Structure 1
Amino acid sequence: MSTAIVFGANGISGIAILKELSHRLASEWRKIIALSRRAPVLEHQDDRIVFKSVDLLGDEKELATALKEAGAEEATHVFFYAYIAKEDEDELIEINRKLFDNALTAIQTWCPKIKVFQLQTGYKYYGTHLGGDKLSAYPWQEDAPRHSGGNFYFVQEDILKTRARKNGWKWIVTRPNFIIGTSKGNYMSLAVTIALYATARKALGQPLFFPGSTVTYNLEYYDHSTASNNAAFQVFAATNEQAYDRAFNIADGDKVTWNVFWPKIAAYFDVPLAKPAADEPTRPLRPHGEIYAAHSVSAWAKATGPQFPEIARKLGLDPNVFDYATWDFMDFALTRTWPDIGSLEAARSIGWSRSINSFGDGYRVVFGELKEEGVIPK
Structure 2
Amino acid sequence: MSTSSTASQRVACIWGANGISGIAMIDVLLKQSSDAWKHIICISRRPFQLNINDKRIHFISIDILDATVDDIVHELEKVSGHTITDVFHYTYIQKKDEDELDQVNRILLEKALDACVKIAGRTIQTFSLQTGYKYYGVHKDKEDLAELPFIEDAPRHKGTNFYFTQEDLLKDYAEKHGWRYIITRPSTIIGVAKGNFMNFAVTVALYATIQKELGQPLLFPGSEKTWNRISDHSTASNNACFQLWAVYFNIPHHEQILNENEPQIKLAEYMPQHRDVWIRIVQRENLDEKAFDYATWAFADGSLKSANDRHGDLSKAHRFGWTTQADTFDGFAQCFDRLKQLKMIPS
Q: Same fold (TM over 0.5)?
A: yes
Cα distance between partner residues in 2 of 1:105 and 1:320: 35
5+ residue gaps, structure 2: 1-7
2:138 aligned with 1:128, yes or no? yes
Cα distance between partner residues in 2 of 1:190 and 1:373: 17
Q: Percent identity?
A: 43
Cα distance between partner residues in 2 of 1:302 and 1:103: 36
Residue 35 of structure 1 corresponds to which residue in structure 2? Answer: 43
Shift of 1:54: 2.0
Whether the 8 Å contact between 1:36 and 1:55 is mirrored in structure 2 is yes
| TM-score normalised by length of structure 2 | 0.93
Whether the 8 Å contact between 1:212 and 1:336 is mirrored in structure 2 is no
Counterpart residue identity of residue 62, structure 1? D
Deviates most, 313-322 or 135-144: 313-322
Counterpart residue identity of residue 182, structure 1? V
2:293 aligned with 1:323, yes or no? yes
Whether the 8 Å contact between 1:122 and 1:174 is mirrored in structure 2 is yes
Residue 256 of structure 1 corresponds to which residue in structure 2? Answer: none
| TM-score normalised by length of structure 1 | 0.86
Cα distance between partner residues in 2 of 1:322 and 1:75: 37
Cα distance between partner residues in 2 of 1:358 and 1:30: 33
Shift of 1:168: 0.8
The alignment partner of 1:96 has SS state of: helix
Whether the 8 Å contact between 1:78 and 1:114 is mirrored in structure 2 is yes
For residue 6 of structure 1, the aligned residue among 14, 25, 45 is: 14
Cα distance between partner residues in 2 of 1:366 and 1:216: 23
1:86-235 matches, within 5 Å, as 86-111=95-120, 112-186=122-196, 188-219=198-229, 221-235=230-244
Shift of 1:74: 1.3
Residue 4 of structure 2 corresponds to which residue in structure 1? Answer: none
Residue 366 of structure 1 corresponds to which residue in structure 2? Answer: 335
1:301-320 matches, within 5 Å, as 301-320=271-290
Residue 253 of structure 1 corresponds to which residue in structure 2? Answer: none
Whether the 8 Å contact between 1:8 and 1:82 is mirrored in structure 2 is yes
Cα distance between partner residues in 1 of 2:310 and 2:165: 22
Cα distance between partner residues in 2 of 1:55 and 1:321: 22
For residue 26 of structure 2, the aligned residue among 12, 18, 28 is: 18
Shift of 1:327: 1.2
The size of the alignment, in residue pairs, is 337
Cα distance between partner residues in 2 of 1:344 and 1:51: 34
Shift of 1:137: 0.3
5+ residue gaps, structure 1: 245-262, 264-272, 286-291
Q: Provide the alpha-carbon RMSD of the alignment.
A: 1.5
Counterpart residue identity of residue 24, structure 2? A
Counterpart residue identity of residue 102, structure 1? K
Cα distance between partner residues in 2 of 1:188 and 1:90: 19
Whether the 8 Å contact between 1:117 and 1:172 is mirrored in structure 2 is yes
Cα distance between partner residues in 2 of 1:306 and 1:28: 49
Whether the 8 Å contact between 2:195 and 2:291 is mirrored in structure 1 is no
Per-residue CA distance 1:161-191 (angstroms, 9 max, x = gap): 0011111111110000011101122263111
Counterpart residue identity of residue 241, structure 2? A
Residue 3 of structure 2 corresponds to which residue in structure 1? Answer: none
Whether the 8 Å contact between 1:41 and 1:185 is mirrored in structure 2 is no
1:318-357 matches, within 5 Å, as 318-357=288-327
Whether the 8 Å contact between 2:210 and 2:277 is mirrored in structure 1 is no
Cα distance between partner residues in 1 of 2:112 and 2:30: 23
